[in-house]
A and B are shown apart, each in its own frame.
Chain A
Amino acid sequence: METTTRSSAVRDGLGVGIAVGLSGVAFGAAAVTAGLSVAQACVLSLLAFTGASQFALAGVVAGGGSLAAGAAGALLLGVRNGLYGLRLSGLLGARGWRRLPVAHGVIDETTAVTLAQPDAESARTGFLVTFVSLYLTWNATTLLGALGTSRVADPAVFGLDVVGPATFLAILWPRLTGSGPETRTLRTIAAGGAAVALAATPFTPAGVPVLLAAAAVLAVVLRSPR
């Protein structure tokens, strides 16, 4: 029984890790299209290792915007990994120095696989397998995508400029497709965030509109009675 749940955790982890890891090729391509060097794309995948933040920074570099605002937006997106860490810390039971490598793996995909497991043992297995397979695949394909794109004269011909927004949409999608009042709130917030960002675009450097959208939403949320 225990071996069955553990082997299904391994299967979940490998499936998610390799499938999502392969989209590192899209990040490598988008980063070089945006004007990052191959080395900068690879450093982000190795050290930041959280797709949405990486794509967000690349987008600001592409828009020739404020790098400080772009970095702040990327970090704000990274806050959700901290919240995943809060949820996973009891489950993963990593203490002392072990927390240092484990922390690097706390992202959307590893959290989803870990929380889907029926017991703590397979949760730990699922986390480890997803983390390792995703990390290796994501970094290898980032390098491939970046190197390949750096040899292409005009990457927009391959439609690579749509990969960033499509990635964000795929991450956002499950939060908007539920039912009930909470989903309605989330849809309103998504529409409001997009509207604020577009309205601010002509007046502020790239990167700033996204921060303004988050700030506006936060202000509304804090003021409205719960």
Chain B
Amino acid sequence: MTVWQAVLAVSLGCYALKLAGLSAPRRVLDHPGVQRFAALVPVALLAALIAVQTFAEGRALGLDWPRTAGLGAAVVALLLRAPFLVVLVAAAAVTAALRYAGL
């Protein structure tokens, strides 16, 4: 699979999923299994993505201190109820500052 194929598959697939939800009959939503799936799967996926994108480089696990500290800054910003964009800027700023300091 080339990068372009992946980009187009994700683009078309994501749109198709949105359209399918809007077009599906209402009783689908009332199914308890669907609701459970809807609540749980994104939580597992997002947590897995955070872990992998923070602590893995390809197949190697490792602790990148500036990146980990940046994620810590995001946690602090979220605890302070900062807006979305501020959370991202705080994380990047801390990571960049620590890298600049040569950690």
B93 touches A214 (CB 8 A): no
- Tell me what chain B mostly uses at the interface: helix, strand, loop, or mixed: helix
A39 to B19, CA, bound (A): 25
Which chain B positions have C-beta within 8 A of A89? 21-24, 26
Total contacting residues, chain A, CB less than 8 A: 106
For residue A64, CB closer than 8 A to chain B, the reply is yes
Which chain B positions have C-beta within 8 A of A118? none
B61 touches A214 (CB 8 A): no
Which chain B positions have C-beta within 8 A of A13? none
A59-84 Cβ-contact flags toward B at 8 Å (1 or 0): 10101110110110111111111111
B9 touches A90 (CB 8 A): no
**Given the known A-B contacts A169-B71, A190-B44, are A210 and B49 also in contact in the complex, defined by CB atoms under 8 Å?**
yes
- Tell me what chain A mostly uses at the interface: helix, strand, loop, or mixed: helix
For residue A1, CB closer than 8 A to chain B, the reply is no
For residue A157, CB closer than 8 A to chain B, the reply is yes
A188-202 Cβ-contact flags toward B at 8 Å (1 or 0): 011111111110011
Among A23, A156, A168, A185, the residue within 8 A (CB) of B85 is A23
Which chain A positions have C-beta within 8 A of B84? 19-20, 23, 170
Interface residues of B (CB under 8 A from A): 1-15, 17-24, 26, 28-29, 32, 34, 36-61, 66-67, 70-71, 74-75, 78, 83-85, 87-88, 91-97, 99-100
A-B contact pairs, 29 of them (CB 8 A): A19-B85, A47-B8, A63-B58, A71-B9, A73-B45, A76-B45, A77-B42, A79-B38, A79-B42, A80-B38, A81-B14, A84-B21, A86-B26, A103-B23, A107-B18, A157-B100, A159-B70, A160-B92, A161-B67, A162-B74, A162-B91, A165-B50, A172-B46, A172-B47, A189-B43, A190-B43, A197-B48, A201-B61, A206-B56
